[in-house]
Amino acid sequence: MSQTHVNEEIMNATREMVRNEIADNPSLSQAGAAQEAGVNPSALSQWMKGKYPGDNVKMTESMERWLSFRRKKAASVTTPVKAATWCPTPTAKKIQAALSYAHMAGDITVIFGGAGVGKTETCTEYAGSNPNVWHVTMTPSTGVLGSCLERVALKLGLHVSGRAAKIEMAIMERLTGTDGLLIIDEAQHLNVRCLEALRSLHDATGVGLAILGNDLVYAQMTGRGVRSATFAQLFSRIGKRVKLLKPKGDDVKTLCKSWNVTDKEMVAFCQQIAEKPGALRMMVKTIRLGQMVAGSMGEALALKHLKAAWRDLES
């Protein structure tokens, strides 16, 4: 049998496996398969029809690697590995209540501290469950006024550029009359002018404003001397202040339960992780990886798998 004939048989078999993989996964399209495999969607479409003018052997190898990876991923878990979606822990409910206050009262709330306790996830959940809520996440690149306003404008669906004053006016027009809530996440990246501009948006439109970040956000607003005077306008308008500390035991128990982790020793180990930097975020990563470790061994999740996952994440 010629090498060409053998390759053709392999190609046809691989094409059939790709078709079956797509058919068995309703959320997966051919374009999605191409993206996951790192190949051109048009080239994959031609290859699937047997009309690809390029290197068919190379394309076949790419799709075989993709199929192999998906098989390994499916075999790595014996129980579904859920995404880190929102869980109503006591701390999350506290954050949610503060967001609701700012939204309903059209006031300003500041939520600060507590890295890894669920601030961002709770904001995402709140924005997805209520009308006219815009969750804007800041980064170091948005720390100056123009970039900050552009990020807010994009979240509002506005495509406007130019001077900061022009962008600000467009934002004000969009927010006026919405009874909405503007959530500014990772606000520690913003300078004084940015925070004052956000305060001005609140003053001019009456929308609620929630400012979230680490301890630096509140420290800036409550500093002494010049710093305190700089933030006086904003600080005097804050209606609710929420300081988040390390996760409480009930936070850990609630989150563990949502992941079907109920063994006392496993929960206690998760509590130890939650008290370290990264808090609940690292705990969830450990549980997820622990499930994958257990799945690869054909076993149910146990304390040894969590410890192995934590060692791997710590290294």
| pLDDT values of the chain reduced to their tens digit, one per residue, 315 residues | 334 444 788 899 999 999 999 998 888 999 999 999 999 999 999 999 999 999 999 999 999 999 988 887 766 554 545 545 678 888 889 999 999 999 999 999 999 987 777 888 899 999 999 999 999 999 999 989 999 999 999 999 998 888 999 999 999 999 999 999 999 999 999 988 899 899 999 999 999 999 998 877 777 666 544 455 556 666 777 888 888 877 778 888 988 988 889 899 999 999 899 888 778 888 889 998 898 888 877 788 899 999 999 988 886
CB atoms within 10 A of CB 299: 12
Q: Does 83 fall in a domain?
A: no
* Helix locations, the chain, DSSP H: 3-23, 30-37, 41-48, 56-75, 90-105, 119-129, 145-155, 164-175, 192-205, 215-221, 226-230, 232-235, 249-258, 264-274, 279-296, 303-314
Distance of CA 133 to the CA centre of its chain: 17
Q: Which of 248, 257, 239, 218 is nearest to 91 (CA)?
A: 248
**Is the residue at 190 inside a domain?**
yes
Residues 199 and 279 in one domain: no
Q: How far apart are CA 95 and CA 244, in angstroms?
A: 9
Residues 6+ apart with CB under 8 A from 112: 212, 213, 214, 215, 217, 218, 241, 242, 243, 244
User: What count of residues does the chain have?
Assistant: 315
Domain range for 304 is 249-314
The Cα–Cα gap between 281 and 168 comes to: 35
This prediction's pTM:
0.69
Q: What pLDDT sits at residue 222?
A: 62
Cα separation, 293 vs 56, whole angstroms: 36
Which of 16, 47, 75 terminates a domain? The answer is 75
**At which of 244, 267, 299 does a domain end?**
244
Residues 147 and 281 in one domain: no
Per-residue model confidence (pLDDT) at position 247: 79
- Please indicate, yes or no, whether residues 137 and 269 belong to a single structural domain of this protein: no
Please tell me whether residues 63 and 120 are part of one structural domain: no
**54/195 same-domain check:** no
